[in-house]
Amino acid sequence: MYIVIYVYQYTMEIENFIALLDKKRKELCEIYENKMSKNKKMTSNPDTIDFNSKKTLNLINAALDKKLKSSKAYQKMVEKELLKKQI
């Protein structure tokens, strides 16, 4: 009786492990295909990105935004838009 239960649990663990390996293999293939394609966007769903990556991306975007807004070209563009709105 105990041997049958142990063998059943062992085969279930193996099946779960194989399923997990298949899932990870598919994810790796998808990442590889995305990386090799012209489209450098790695994920289409932002919910799949972990917290630390989101935090890093937000910091990068904030720095780029700050750099853009401090540029003279951006300030001239804003001034032109304000003049158009006033007219």
Per-residue pLDDT of the chain (87 residues; tens, 9 = 90+): 455 555 566 677 888 888 889 999 999 888 888 777 765 555 567 677 778 888 888 899 999 999 999 999 889 988 998 888 887
Shared domain check, 37 and 22: yes
Does 37 share its domain with 57?
Answer: no
Q: Are residues 22 and 55 in the same domain?
A: no
Q: pTM here?
A: 0.41
Domains in the chain, number? 2
Q: What is the residue type of 54?
A: K
- Rounded to the nearest 10°, the torsion over CA 51, 31, 63, 84 is -110
Q: Contact 74/68 with Cβ under 8 angstroms?
A: yes
- Residues 2 and 24 both lie in one domain: yes
Residues 58 and 38 reside in one and the same domain = no
With a CB cutoff of 8 Å and minimum separation 6, the contacts of 49 are 43, 57
Q: Are 34 and 41 in contact (CB under 8 A)?
A: yes
- pLDDT at site 26: 92
Give dist(CA 21, CA 16) in Å, integer. Answer: 9
Q: Same domain, yes or no, for 38 and 62? A: no
Residues 36 and 50 in one domain: no
Q: Please tell me whether residues 30 and 3 are part of one structural domain.
A: yes
**Cα–Cα distance for residue pair 34/28, rounded to 1 Å:** 10
| Parent domain of 13 | 1-42
